[in-house]
Chain A
Amino acid sequence: MRKPHDINPVLSRRAILRAALATGGGLMLSGMIPGLPGARAQSGSAFTPNAFIRIDRNGAITFIMRHVEMGQGIYTGIAMLLAEELEVSLDKVRLEAAPANASYIDKSAGEEVTGGSASTRDSWVPLRQAGAAARIMLIQAASTRWSVPASTCVARDGAVLHPESSRRLDYGALADDAAHQKIPDPVPLKNPSQFQLIGTSPQRMDTHAKSNGTACFGMDVRVEGMKTGRIMACPVKGGRLKGFDREAALKTPGVTDIVTLPDAIAVIGDHSWAAISGMKAARPEWDYGPHSGMSSATQLQALRSASEKTGIVAKNTGDVTAALASSPVRIDAIYESPFLAHAALEPINTTLHIRSDSADVWVGTQVPLRARQEVADATGLPPERITVHNHLIGGGFGRRLDSNSIGQAARLAKQVPFPVKLFWTREEDIRQDQFRPFYYDRITAGLDDKGLIKAWHHRTTGSFVLARWAPEGLQNGLDSDAVEGATETPYAIPSQRNEAVQCEPEGITTLWWRGVGPTHNVFVVEGMIDELAHASGTDPLSFRRRHLTHSPRGLKVLDEAARQAGWGRPLPKGHGLGIALHYSFQCWAATVLEVEVGGGGEIRLIRADTAVDCGPVVFPDAVRAQIQGGLIFGLTMALYNEITFRNGQAEQSNFHNYRMMRLNEAPDIRVHLVSDPDAEIGGIGEVGTVAAAPVLANAIFAATGRRLRRIPFAPQLAMNPTGEKKA
């Protein structure tokens, strides 16, 4: 998700540092890291730190993290950057989540976001600078105390040593003095050849608690005197609550309160079961409002007709019209990517205690500042009187980039005097999601007489998420996310035009979803590349290679994935190998997938090989884990997922009809790191997802000869196993 960057111009990737005596003694080094959550966007503004190292007198070392852990391993990755330069081992470091309150953020700070696969990318240089600065100041403090040159001292494992005299002082003993040292400028960084931590795979710092039930997600928050409520909103957006059976609901054992909004109701009780049973008894009735005629068919019709228009031109090289007209081989295609729910396993929930003069909010959010503002808007309280206690998130995937559910919960919670946890059931979480947009892509491409791509015209039509979330980020009306992965393909294409048509769906709110623009665009691009390869009678690997002569990194990952997968080997009947290449989030990645499609259209995913070049690798095991998980996330979508609408309502509601891939269906996934340590660092959280749909479509084609241009694939294979055209 690139949006945070677009609206938060990065002035420089250099850290601005300040040192101070910590409360209670010791060193507090604060860093203002451009591009990280909480950094000011404007130049020349006050110092608003967003990264912290605290070294107490007793030697305790604490990193205060502004990022939220959603499973991506970012706590560990970020801690590694700091610890590497500070010369401490990870087991000596404690992590604290920074609350969204006045001591950690300034009201006028820019967006505070964990997203966009940006955390490691943004932190790579400045957090190492912060760690190095603290180390240098500790050394300076020791050398002053010992009256020896700083150059004769070294830092190692949480202490400064003076080898000549065998003296040693722990960081804790130096912390007060270090706070008064001058901050080095510039801050020299270690040569990568000296890295001891970066590039290794330590035990993740967040997982022990997740293995024994002690990790506390937002859903697990328990506050003294708390009650629990289930929220239900009108299943059609824009509708209103017409009535409900208050008496029956209040008679339900454990139910204590019922509160409403114009479009929602919350049944509150002593425990979740009271809230769930009470809601059943309340039998809310709705006035469905103006969008009750909306359906999948009306959505598709709107997209289709919008796609007939010329869109905002995002790229235009050469003369596409003329080049297409003179192409001996030309393919016109329409690709469709459906509405999707995020379906994180932890459903939406917010715990609030709203008082007359202040409020506390316990929630897992990717945007703590927005969360606080939601509560301020709902209650009229000044933001600085609201404390957001951020929690572990049980799966983000983009969903917790929005904060609407927190505002809804606050408007309900302010009606009761006690702390209350308000949660959505799984059904609510799916039906009331802010959906990944439906994208309708028209693409036309032509080959020249040598079988090389001559012309390429790709027009995508769909919702512009940025237009709602941060309209100031639009560029001449264009949401760059709509064309990300489409304008810059890996391939040499002489004439290329990209357009985007904004088409906002009736009665649906849209939001980013793992892999964002590239997840949808690479499906179209890599599908079409495969179509062109077959149209020209060329092997899909060779066809790609012919268009990559300018791209050594693209060729490298493509060749590695092909080699590891045994591209070209003889396959049993019904099997096929698909291939897909992309450059997303500053990573090069190629995936080969082997599938088997049976006579009844049943599909088995056998094995995936992904080769990745993400530049410098901080935490190799986390890169592998993100590719494995991201691929499964994307394959789940490509096989099974689609939110459909009828009478204005989402038709899917739980995992029985919004299907998740399960362990027995998952392929073996092998990740091959072929990273270039001198390249720009990439973000890895979404890379695996991007390749999934195209590599699966291409593998199914290889296995069956059937080209699937519409997601999800499994129902199409099952309904029409042979792919025969119906008369």
Chain B
Amino acid sequence: MRTILINGESHDVDVPDDMPLLWVLRDVLGLTGTKYGCGIAQCGACTVHVDGKPARACQLPVSLIGTRPVTTIEAIGQTETGQRVQAAWLDEQVIQCGYCQSGQIMAAAALLQTTPSPSDDDIDDAMSGNICRCGTYVRVRAAIHKAASNA
């Protein structure tokens, strides 16, 4: 049994040490907004924030989290930046199928927290780890610029 801090709440979970955070979130805690896409940190659909930094939950064993706070898509709207990103995502009508978009929004929120006015190159660097099969990239870029300008 270990205790992890997810979205401001402590959870006691009885799971194997090597179990990636992704499956703890989805299958144990019922936080299904964080998605499984590839399992090898190639697609970014499982992006969460650990201590405010973006992390691929599919490659993060639960035993390595310790006391660091984890934020998921379900709670990112409680942060000022997250709320701005979500609003820009809707304004720009970024979303199509939506399966990758939790990860896109988490990656964008992490970018804006460290880089409030990102350049296109900053956006390339921060977002190229997140695959969108529907091809919403043009609008992802526009929405990040919009969220930045709405600060």
Contact = CB atoms under 8 A, between A and B. Distances in A.
A633 B135 contact: yes
Contacts of B124: 663-664
A701 B137 CA distance: 26
Contacts of B127: 662-664
Contacts of B30: 222
Nearest to B88: A211
Contacts of A632: 135, 137
Interface in A177-215: 201, 203-204, 206-208, 210-215
A182 to B, nearest CB: 41
A38 B99 CA distance: 27
B72 A213 contact: yes
Interface string B113-141: 00000000001110111111111111111
Given A219-B36, A272-B26, A272-B36, A633 B134 contact: yes
Contact of B23 (A219, A273, A661, A665): A273
Given A272-B23, A655-B43, A215 B133 contact: no
B-side interface size class: 35 or more
A655 B38 contact: yes
B133 A625 contact: no
A665 B138 CA distance: 11
A391 to B, nearest CB: 11
Interface string A497-530: 0000000000000000000000000000000000
Nearest to A421: B27
Chain B interface, DSSP helix/strand/loop, else mixed: loop
A661 B135 contact: yes
A211 B39 contact: no
A625 B15 contact: no
Contacts of A617: none
B36 to A, nearest CB: 7
Given A203-B93, A345-B43, A655 B131 contact: yes
A723 interface: no
Contacts, number: 184
B32 interface: yes
A207 B37 contact: no
B73 interface: yes
Given A212-B86, A345-B131, A629 B73 contact: no
Interface in B26-60: 26-28, 30-40, 42-43, 45
Interface in A382-397: 392-397
Interface stretch (A68-76, A96-104, A238-246): A68-76
A217 interface: yes
A207 B90 contact: yes
A394 B97 contact: yes
Given A210-B101, A273-B20, A71 B86 contact: no
Nearest to A201: B93
Most-contacted residue by chain A among B26, B90, B95, B140 (CB, 10 A)? B95
A621 B76 CA distance: 27
Contact of B31 (A210, A213, A228, A628): A213
A287 interface: no
A546 B77 CA distance: 56
Contacts of B136: 625, 628-629
21 contacts: A71-B134, A208-B90, A210-B95, A214-B33, A217-B98, A219-B36, A222-B30, A222-B32, A347-B37, A393-B97, A426-B37, A628-B136, A628-B139, A631-B135, A636-B135, A654-B38, A660-B131, A661-B137, A663-B128, A663-B130, A664-B127
The 4 closest A-B pairs by CB, nearest first: A213-B33, A632-B135, A71-B97, A394-B99
Interface of B: 15-16, 18-20, 23, 26-28, 30-40, 42-43, 45, 72-74, 76-77, 86, 89-90, 93, 95-102, 105, 123-125, 127-141
